Structures are given as structure tokens and as C-alpha cells.
Amino acid sequence: MTAPRNITLAVTGASGSIYAREMLRALANDDRVERIHFIASDSALRVFAEEIELCGRNNLAEKLLGSPSTKLRQHVESDIGASIASGSYPVSAMIVLPCSMGTLAAIANGLASNLIQRSADVCLKERRPLVLCVRETPFNRIHLRNMLLANEAGATIFPAIPTLYNHPGNTTEMAQQFVHRVLAHIGLPQPGAYQWGRADE
Ligand SMILES: Cc1cc2nc3c(=O)[nH]c(=O)nc-3n(C[C@H](O)[C@H](O)[C@H](O)COP(=O)(O)O)c2cc1C
């Protein structure tokens, strides 16, 4: 598999702002990644404010990252005319992290009514990797049905559930391990990622 170079990262209004922050950091630090298309929903902004005291939309991606990056392209959720809204634009993979049940429902049912939903819809129609890091608990029947629908259409349902067997020392390490798993899934294995059984090799 050739390394994906052009990644869309969408953040929606589910709990898990630190996952988005660690994903952005990992993508920005990865030399194989040339472009990061970043979109946050309005609800994501509310959750950022609640969870990590990050407020406002202006330069949100840079603020999240903690520094500027020439790779970053931040889009507005309403801009359905952005490059990534078209299948002619070569996105390698899209990650929705965290993915709310609302956005899952929209993607699973082909609504495509904002840039996050449309970009996901484009990935599905173009058979490009789409990873939905869903976050809710417990799931109701509608959530479960929508996960199955999205999976049948080609998306990977990758729940934002952390691992504990790697003994994370804090929530950042927990989020990093999760991010490493998602990136390995789309063909971007990360140096230093925890791997069960490595001692056996
Ligand atoms: C602090 C906070 C945490 C939330 N956590 C979740 C969650 O974990 N999962 C979820 O599906 N919705 C969660 N919500 C509700 C969503 O933000 C809400 O359904 C929203 O309409 C989703 O919109 P979006 O998909 O456009 O981002 C949360 C809302 C707030 C304010």
C-alpha cells in the first residue's frame, strides 16, 4: 500500500477533543503526509470549549496543533464548494474523530448536507478509506443500525475506545495509542506505536 498523502480530518461534536488534537499532531509530524484538510462542526467547537478550553473557529487547527503548519487547510463546515467536496480532488483517506451519532446517521444515510458529510459521501462513492471513530454510550438501535449501514457502504467503524493493556500513564498517552491504531489502519504506521507481543519477536 502506498502511504496516504492527502488526509481529511473531520471533528464532530462527540466527546474526545484530545483524540482530535493528538491526531492532528501525528499527521502534522508525519513526513509522508503532504496535506491535512481539517473541518470542525459547530458542535465540535462547543465540545472543544468544554473539554480543553479551546474557543472560537479562527485558526482552530493551528491552535489545536499549538503551532502553524504549511500542511494545514482549514475548511468551514458549510463550504460544500471546497476541494474535498469533489471526487476529482485526490483525498487519500478521511478520518472522522470523534464521530457523533448525528454525523454517523447523516453519513450512513447519504445526506451530504455539509462539508463533513459530503466529503465522507465522496470517499464512499470513490471507494476511498473512510474511518468513523464513533463515540457514544450506550448505543441505541438506531446507532447500531447506522454503524452497520455505514460499514456496508465501505466505511470502517473504529470506535473511540482506548486500550489499557499498554498501561497508558495519562489521557494523552491513551489518546496517542488510539491515534496510532487509526493511522496504522489507513497505511500510516507510526514509529514508537505500542505493539502487543513485540517482545516475542
Ligand atoms: C460536551 C458534549 C459532549 C457530547 N458528547 C457526545 C458524544 O459523545 N456522542 C454523540 O453522539 N454526541 C455527543 N454530544 C452531542 C452532539 O454534539 C450533538 O448531537 C450534535 O448535534 C452533533 O452535531 P455534529 O454531528 O454536527 O457535530 C455532545 C455534546 C456536548 C455539548
The pLDDT tens digits of the residues spanning 58-110 come to 999 999 999 999 999 999 999 999 999 999 999 999 999 999 999 999 999 99
Rounded-to-integer distance, Cα 129 and Cα 57, Å: 27
Listed by start position, the domains of the chain span 5-185
- Lowest-pLDDT range of 18-27, 53-62, 105-114: 53-62
What CATH class is the domain 5-185?
alpha beta
Please tell me the residue having the least CA distance from ligand 1 atom 16: 13
Q: Of the residues 43, 109, 146, which should be mutated to test ligand 1's pocket, given the most ligand atoms within 8 Å of the CB?
A: 43
Q: Please determine, for residue 198, whether its predicted confidence score (pLDDT) is greater than 80.
A: no
Report the nearest atom of ligand 1 relative to the CA of 143: 11
Q: Please determine, for residue 192, whether its predicted confidence score (pLDDT) is greater than 80.
A: yes
Under a CB-based contact definition with an 8 Å cutoff, are residues 61 and 38 in contact?
yes
Which residue bears the cell 491513551? Answer: 174
Q: Of the residues 19, 47, 161, which should be mutated to test ligand 1's pocket, given the most ligand atoms within 8 Å of the CB?
A: 47
Q: Could you tell me the distance, in angstroms and rounded to a whole number, from the CA of residue 100 to the centre of ligand 1?
A: 6
Asked whether the whole model's pTM tops 0.95, one would answer yes
- Say what the pLDDT of residue 125 is: 98
CA dist 151 to 43, 53, 143, 155, 194, Å?
24, 33, 12, 5, 27
